[in-house]
Structure 1
Amino acid sequence: MSTFHAIVWIDQSEAHVLMFDREHMQAQRIKSRTHHKHQGKAEDSAAFFADVARALAGTHEVLLTGPGLVRNQFRDWCSSHLPSVADSVVDSVAADHPSDGQLVALARQYFKKFDNMTADPSTA
């Protein structure tokens, strides 16, 4: 699904990728291959981040959310390995464990303000 906006909630064990436009929303849950919080290997994180980045292909603007530092580590990984995905990330904000509905509401509110600030003609 090629969409204009996405929100990603990510922690060390999974990512919720929610892509949406005005009429549609598609949700995907991606599990990390690491099962223990502090025993993850770099290659496990890289594989997890690659899976999440692939899910974002074709998305123009991405809002990253989640607890801790994983969202920033994902953004850094994308900068090094998939700059096109990193370039689509517009912000990174802390969020504990919201439901998918709460994530979409947060994203719609965020992108409404963001698009108004950037005068994006695609949302007019």
Structure 2
Amino acid sequence: MTMFHAIVWLDHHNAKVLQFNPDTVETATVKAHTHNTKQHGSGVRDEHEFFADVSAALAGITEVLVVGSSTAQADFKHYLDKHRPQVAKQVVAYQTVDHPTDNQLVALAREFFLKHDRMAGVPTPS
């Protein structure tokens, strides 16, 4: 089921995508690929494959809040801007957070999107 809002917590090894509406939360986990090669640039290739998988998990979601480590967010934003501009448009904000629980992530996202939607003039769902 595709929902309107999602929050993504990510670092360079994992991403957790939580899609939600007022009644339901759906969670998906994306793990980074690791290729054990000595080939130059394989780390970049691994990161691009990981970020591509995270981008694919965001298909159909209208508004996304990305949270996690500041370096992972910056790298993900750079990847989106360069390789996935349509997905970049879905991301409404980036916030640095530590390692919250799923419930804390959803609470953070609900609070964020309530304020974000009010500022954008979107009525609050009842």
TM-score, reference length from structure 2:
0.89
Percent identical: 43
Provide the C-alpha distance between the structure 1 equivalents of 2:116 and 2:30, rounded to a whole number of angstroms: 27
- Which of residues 106, 109, 125 in structure 2 aligns to 1:107? 109
Provide the C-alpha distance between the structure 2 equivalents of 1:122 and 1:56, rounded to a whole number of angstroms: 23
Q: Deviation above 6 Å: which 4+ runs of structure 1?
A: none
Contact kept, 8 Å, 2:66 with 2:91, in 1: the verdict is yes
Figure out how many residues of one structure are paired with residues of the other and give that number. 122
**AA at the equivalent of 2:15:** A
Match of 1:118 in 2: 120
Residues 1-32 of structure 1: per-residue CA shift (max 9 Å, x gap): 21110000000110010011122211011111
Match of 2:7 in 1: 7
Contact kept, 8 Å, 2:7 with 2:105, in 1: the verdict is yes
Match of 1:54 in 2: 56
Match of 1:85 in 2: 87
Q: Secondary structure at the match of 1:16?
A: strand
TM-score, reference length from structure 1:
0.90
Q: What do you get for the CA RMSD once the two structures are aligned?
A: 2.0
Match of 2:38 in 1: none
Provide the C-alpha distance between the structure 1 equivalents of 2:66 and 2:89, rounded to a whole number of angstroms: 12
Q: What is the CA-CA distance between 1:40 and the residue it aligns to?
A: 6.5
Provide the C-alpha distance between the structure 2 equivalents of 1:52 and 1:40, rounded to a whole number of angstroms: 18
Contact kept, 8 Å, 2:18 with 2:26, in 1: the verdict is yes
